[in-house]
Chain A
Amino acid sequence: MVFRYLKKYWLFAVLASAFMVLEVYVDLYQPRLMAEIVDNGILGLGNGGTPDLGIVKHTGLMMILIVLAGGVCGILSGVCTNVCSQNFGNDIRKDAFSRIMHFSFSQTDDFSVGSLITRTTGDVTQVQNMVSQMIRGCVRCGMFFVAGSIALVSLAADFGIVIGVALPLILAEIIFVVRRTTPLFSQLQHRLDRMNTVIQENVAGARVVKAFVQEEREAKRFGQSNGDLVDTQFRVLILMSYMRPIMNIVLNLATVAIIRIGALRVQDGGIQPGTVMAAVTYLSQILNGMMMLAMIFQTVTRGLTSAKRLREVLDAEPPIRDGSAAPEAHTGTVEFRDVSFRYPEQSADTLRHITLSVGAGETLAVIGETGCGKSSLVNLIPRFYDVTEGAVLVDGTDVRDFPLDDLRSRISFVLQKSELFSTTIRENILLGNSDASEEAIRTAAKAAQADDFIMQQHDGYDTRVTESGMSLSGGQRQRIAISRALVKPAEILILDDSTSALDFKTEAALQSALRTEYAHMTKIIIAQRISSVQHADRIAVLDNGAVAACGTHEELLQTCEVYREIYRSQLKKGAEQNG
């Protein structure tokens, strides 16, 4: 996955590496100039021990220029690395988000909101860091390491033995630490998710926490997840902190060994003392490279864990797939043919053998007890879920044969919970149809009985809705959501118990507007109140996942006991006294 996304920016990656090579080269070259200044300039070795200011000035200037060039290369390498890694991260972030936006309901439930947030932000940053470390760090430490090793071995083959012993030890250490930390990193991300969920719930559910005065309890709950997280983080850090000192010790022992071996060689007369000095210098270069490697491994291990988590999102196949055969005709009929439905991983059917049909322009009301499957039923129409058995047909075609866009463009769905976005009221309504004219917006809002209160707001339609619309009352939110549905040019309107917070007068006005101005739309209305459903062409009474009865208000009052009970429960005293 990493390479797939990196491909687009390979040029920058290559350039970054090339500039890095130059920068490191300058780094490696610069000591020679320094030596020149010291030996020939200051110590005046070629001048009988008198400092030579000319050489110092001349070489010094050159050194500054070379370092300047190296610095420019370093900066350019940084520019290229950042352009590459951050754009790379951005691409992944956008893809992950777009994938999430196409998730099915059950997929989002599985991941949880908190985890999806961490994945699109924190995990992307980790992967991004990994790439930038790999581009810059690998080249840098690789060069130090390779250049140092080659130089060392070329001095004396014996020194190769020292490296030959030290390297496997260091590699073993790196492998050990990486192996131990990898599972810890995934645990870390998992616990981060968990903590995020606690925070998210507390922010979103602040009213409940406060109303029940459970600040202490929530603080304890948070304390636990925070403690878990810190615990894992600490273990990771400790493991990581072993890496450097142990590596240090190994390499320093190698230095001692080189001096010892070097001493023996010099004693033999095999090499000059200067060679030993050079060997020590090279070894410290190798050490430098190794240190960086340790840092890089840390980032890479963490990055790989995050990459895996991102892959889970990016590779998640939407279980609901597009069909290809949309019917030409937009009539607005809906039909349930022997539909049964069961939520994934549940043992009992939520809907059982439902057969219902709604003709074009007809109004079907659905009423029934809490938990009887009303919402589940309408969720099958725009394919928020797919049927387990049977088929749902829209305009005579199985919904599974439609391209999703086409199917959903035929349906205006008002959810039970009105979801508003933190932008203006106008933008919220325009979500239904971004091409809607001012007039169309007002018409829809008027029908939804929202125009009056919107106009009373400070900035009218341009008033901002704050987070989850808390500054608006429940009924106002519902009416904005309904305006949004009405402005959408669809043939089928589904109201999923979305007038529950409206007072009766407002609802009656809405119903009558729907009957007259939106007569052409096929309507499926879920409601609790008899008054919301009694004018429907037909009313389906749902009981325990099956259709108990279906007919007009009058018919049902005659024939259906369940319906009569519902009716009675709503009339109560009032009807007895005034009836």
Chain B
Amino acid sequence: MAEKYTPRSVQQGFRRGPGMMGAPIEKAENSKQTLLRLLAYFKPERKTVLLMSAAVLVSVLASVFAPSFQSQAIDKIVSAEYDLLPRILIIMIALYAVQGITTLLQGYISASLSQRIVSRLRTQLFDKIVRLPISYIDGHSHGDLISRMTNDADNISGIISSSLSSLFSGVLMLIGTTAMMLHYSVPLGLLSCSTVILTVFFTSFMSKHMRRYFVKRQELLGRLNGTVEEMVTNYRTIMAYNRQKQVIGDFSGTADQLTKTGIIAEIISNCMGPVMNMLSNVSFVIVSVFGAYFALKGYISVGVISAFIIYSKQFSRPINELAQLYGQIQTAIAGAERVFSILDTESEDFSGESTGEVRGIIDFKHVNFSYVEGKRIINDFTLHIESGKKIALVGSTGSGKTTVINLLMRFYEIDSGEILLDGRNIRDLALGELRDSIGIVLQDTKLFSDTVRANLAYAVSDAPQAEIEAAAHASYCDRVIAKLPEQYDTVIGQTGVTLSQGEQQLLAIGRAFLSYPRILILDEATSSVDTRTEQNIQNAMAALMKDRTSLIIAHRLSTIQDADQIIVMDQGSIVESGTHEELLARGGKYHELYMTQFAGQET
């Protein structure tokens, strides 16, 4: 049943809650695609990758050749040719130096490569997140979104930095060794390779199981993050209701599940090492048995077998390494999938015609809207707002007032009908310009952990101090700011800075005033502000918004009595409209609202 209640936009995406806990059973196809997509991030780094491969190649060559000189040196000792020894030793030192330097280079390149790629990935992800439609953010766990940006992106970076060069050198060694083996003896070479096929078979078998657990682990980690985020943000309520035990119990449940999944995932990936080790030894025995047999038959010389033995040892090292990498790659892929699923969500479309000089005429024409299919929130809503007028929306809670604003701002898209600004459909307008022309103070105030000045000048970062102060004065937050330890330079959210809800609202109003928009929307913006301060703000606003359109949602009718037009909403439709006096005289819904508000006061 829970599914029914997910907003439409969320249905394809990631959902949370019980019933969705089972890890999605995905095809290996997906994982291949994810890997390919991840690899695409290396494309712009082609040069660096090439440079790194060169470094890896040199260091692999050096580490292949050095041992042969080592054995030569020992041969010289055996044959007592001590004079030749220094020369060989010098070559060895040179080779080791080359190896050291190229390894260093490798480390440097892979570090910068991984950091560049992860930085790019994160930036891309963040750019996406700020452009996601509100409906997506409303419908998803914030903690989980954060987890994708941090844990999952980090996993990807980790694998790139720690294993990219080993992956490279491993593959190179593998190819080089195979080539050498085939060169010496095709049948023996093929036999050695048969274990590689066995390895591939085994790896793909394991990967199926591993993937499931790694995906599930990342999901649980996201959920855990979600819980922490939600509980830490809402912990005042938890404290007030003594619910610590219950909350901790829930958290422990998820944590235990995470641990269980994590243990299984890690154990499976840990198995890879020993199993690979075994396979490489099996390969050794196969080579020995068949080599000895071939030698007995006279197909190959004994010398070839000893060479093969060295190679099959060399073979096992990269395979071992690759096996160890496998687990990490699985985690990275599981993370990448979660990251890509956000990247694949459709962004808000910012393109459109320029709004030009906005006059502030707003038209709603037969607008219908529902957050959840089948449950209309806005019903055939038609409203014409003249430029420069002060319009008030009133109505009982849940009547759809905030939703109207959400639609005008295009936080949500309407189902049918149209909304016009200056006679043009807002869907055709550039989203950025549309929103730029509207200043809004929301029901739920959000300030950023930055200085007071930066918060006020949020929309106009180059505002001169005088203007900032004027806006602060008009919104009555100058008195609040004066009390702060460092006035305008106080960082909000810092230790010792405690702002009440009302004070935060005043700052938010200041922020909107400073942006000086063509259209100003106050959505219950002064609900926590005392009425005297509110009245003063109203007066300041009247002066500020002269000739500009303003839309005000308020429950206190005193706030909106002098509006040019009062719209009374009920169940998503307009039931009445007119001035305060007209509506009172009509004796309808507004009159009723008014009477309850002032009942008792007049006696």
CA distance A369 to B502 in the complex (A): 9
Nearest-CB distance from B439 to chain A (Å)?
8
A199 at the A/B interface (Cβ < 8 Å)? yes
A208 touches B442 (CB 8 A): yes
Q: A45-61: contact bitstring with B at CB < 8 Å (1 yes, 0 no)?
A: 00001111100110011
Nearest-CB distance from B376 to chain A (Å)?
11
Known: A213-B435, A259-B89. A409 touches B242 (CB 8 A): yes
B443 at the A/B interface (Cβ < 8 Å)? yes
B306 touches A244 (CB 8 A): no
Nearest-CB distance from B517 to chain A (Å)?
9
Chain A residues in 8 Å Cβ range of B432: 213, 215
A528 at the A/B interface (Cβ < 8 Å)? yes
A443 at the A/B interface (Cβ < 8 Å)? no
Chain A residues in 8 Å Cβ range of B70: 255, 259, 280
Interface residues of B in 334-387 (CB under 8 A from A): 348, 371-372, 374-375
Known: A117-B146, A471-B138. A419 touches B77 (CB 8 A): no
B199 at the A/B interface (Cβ < 8 Å)? no
Nearest-CB distance from B256 to chain A (Å)?
7
Interface residues of B in 116-143 (CB under 8 A from A): 116, 118-119, 122-123, 126-127, 129-132, 134, 137-143
CA distance A106 to B291 in the complex (A): 75
B96 at the A/B interface (Cβ < 8 Å)? yes
CA distance A534 to B602 in the complex (A): 12
A431 touches B221 (CB 8 A): no
A370 touches B503 (CB 8 A): yes
Q: A196-222: contact bitstring with B at CB < 8 Å (1 yes, 0 no)?
A: 110111111111111111110111001
Chain B residues in 8 Å Cβ range of A408: 239-242
* Residue of A43, A217, A384, A570 touching B236 (CB-CB under 8 A): A384
| Stretch of A93-101, A141-149, A351-359, A387-395 on the interface side | A93-101
| Stretch of B25-33, B178-186, B204-212, B528-536 on the interface side | B528-536
A207 touches B115 (CB 8 A): no
Instruction: Name the residue on B nearest A481 (C-beta).
Output: B237
* Residue of A37, A97, A484 touching B228 (CB-CB under 8 A): A97
Chain B residues in 8 Å Cβ range of A329: none
Nearest-CB distance from A34 to chain B (Å)?
7
CA distance A369 to B531 in the complex (A): 8
B446 touches A212 (CB 8 A): no
A-B contact count (CB 8 A): 546
A63 touches B285 (CB 8 A): yes
A458 touches B449 (CB 8 A): no
Instruction: Name the residue on A nearest B140 (C-beta).
Output: A467
CA distance A383 to B469 in the complex (A): 37
A396 at the A/B interface (Cβ < 8 Å)? no
B288 touches A86 (CB 8 A): no
Q: A318-344: contact bitstring with B at CB < 8 Å (1 yes, 0 no)?
A: 000000000000000000000000011
B451 at the A/B interface (Cβ < 8 Å)? no
Known: A199-B126, A214-B459, A458-B5. A263 touches B85 (CB 8 A): yes
B565 at the A/B interface (Cβ < 8 Å)? no
Q: B271-307: contact bitstring with A at CB < 8 Å (1 yes, 0 no)?
A: 1011101100110110011011101100000100110
Chain A residues in 8 Å Cβ range of B594: 574
A370 touches B267 (CB 8 A): no
Instruction: Name the residue on B nearest A231 (C-beta).
Output: B115
Q: B59-70: contact bitstring with A at CB < 8 Å (1 yes, 0 no)?
A: 000000010001
A51 touches B495 (CB 8 A): no
Nearest-CB distance from B536 to chain A (Å)?
9
Nearest-CB distance from A178 to chain B (Å)?
17
A71 at the A/B interface (Cβ < 8 Å)? yes
Chain A residues in 8 Å Cβ range of B141: 422, 467
Chain B residues in 8 Å Cβ range of A101: 231, 235, 238, 244, 247-248
Nearest-CB distance from B192 to chain A (Å)?
14
B291 touches A42 (CB 8 A): yes
B598 touches A53 (CB 8 A): no
CA distance A90 to B350 in the complex (A): 44
Chain A at the B interface: SS class: helix
Count contacts on B: residues with CB < 8 A to the other chain. Answer: 194
B267 touches A79 (CB 8 A): yes
Nearest-CB distance from A485 to chain B (Å)?
8
| Stretch of A169-177, A497-505, A513-521 on the interface side | A497-505
Interface residues of A in 515-573 (CB under 8 A from B): 528-531, 534-535, 565-567, 569-573
| Stretch of B36-44, B147-155, B544-552 on the interface side | B147-155
Chain B residues in 8 Å Cβ range of A474: 397, 402, 443-444, 524, 527
Known: A249-B97, A466-B138. A503 touches B555 (CB 8 A): yes
Nearest-CB distance from B225 to chain A (Å)?
6
A109 touches B446 (CB 8 A): no
CA distance A270 to B239 in the complex (A): 79
Interface centre among A78, A109, A497 (most CB of B within 10 A): A78
Chain A residues in 8 Å Cβ range of B288: 37-38, 41-42, 56, 60
A53 touches B398 (CB 8 A): no
Interface residues of B in 205-251 (CB under 8 A from A): 221, 224-226, 228-244, 246-248, 251
B464 at the A/B interface (Cβ < 8 Å)? no
B115 touches A233 (CB 8 A): yes
Chain A residues in 8 Å Cβ range of B602: 575, 578-579
Interface centre among B229, B302, B458 (most CB of A within 10 A): B229
B232 touches A476 (CB 8 A): no
| Stretch of A118-126, A152-160, A303-311 on the interface side | A118-126
* Residue of A202, A203, A566 touching B531 (CB-CB under 8 A): A566
Nearest-CB distance from A154 to chain B (Å)?
19
A199 touches B493 (CB 8 A): no
A434 at the A/B interface (Cβ < 8 Å)? yes
| Stretch of B102-110, B169-177, B414-422 on the interface side | B102-110
Nearest-CB distance from B295 to chain A (Å)?
5
Known: A217-B461, A415-B237, A566-B530. A117 touches B142 (CB 8 A): no
Chain A residues in 8 Å Cβ range of B251: 94, 97-98
A29 at the A/B interface (Cβ < 8 Å)? no
Known: A226-B126, A467-B139, A531-B600. A215 touches B131 (CB 8 A): yes
* Residue of A280, A384, A505 touching B239 (CB-CB under 8 A): A384
Chain B residues in 8 Å Cβ range of A195: 150
B329 at the A/B interface (Cβ < 8 Å)? no
A197 touches B99 (CB 8 A): no
B22 at the A/B interface (Cβ < 8 Å)? no
B442 touches A249 (CB 8 A): no
Nearest-CB distance from B348 to chain A (Å)?
8
Chain A residues in 8 Å Cβ range of B149: 199
CA distance A210 to B515 in the complex (A): 14
A506 touches B397 (CB 8 A): yes
Chain B residues in 8 Å Cβ range of A218: 126, 130
B500 touches A234 (CB 8 A): no
Instruction: Name the residue on B nearest A500 (C-beta).
Output: B527
Known: A262-B77, A344-B496, A432-B241. A256 touches B524 (CB 8 A): no
Interface centre among A50, A74, A488 (most CB of B within 10 A): A74
Instruction: Name the residue on A nearest B138 (C-beta).
Output: A470
Instruction: Name the residue on B nearest A423 (C-beta).
Output: B17
A238 at the A/B interface (Cβ < 8 Å)? yes
Provide a sorted-by-A list of 26 A–B residue pairs whose CB atoms are within 8 angstroms: A37-B288, A43-B302, A56-B289, A61-B285, A71-B274, A74-B273, A98-B248, A122-B151, A204-B233, A219-B126, A226-B122, A245-B99, A259-B73, A263-B85, A343-B496, A344-B495, A376-B500, A464-B2, A466-B138, A467-B230, A471-B7, A473-B401, A506-B397, A528-B556, A570-B601, A574-B594
Q: 13 additional contacts, CB 8 Å, given A103-B235, A571-B558?
A: A64-B282, A67-B277, A90-B256, A100-B228, A108-B235, A196-B146, A199-B150, A202-B129, A241-B110, A370-B505, A504-B593, A504-B596, A506-B397
- 8 closest Cβ pairs, A-B complex: A241-B107, A475-B397, A345-B496, A78-B270, A370-B502, A237-B111, A74-B274, A71-B274
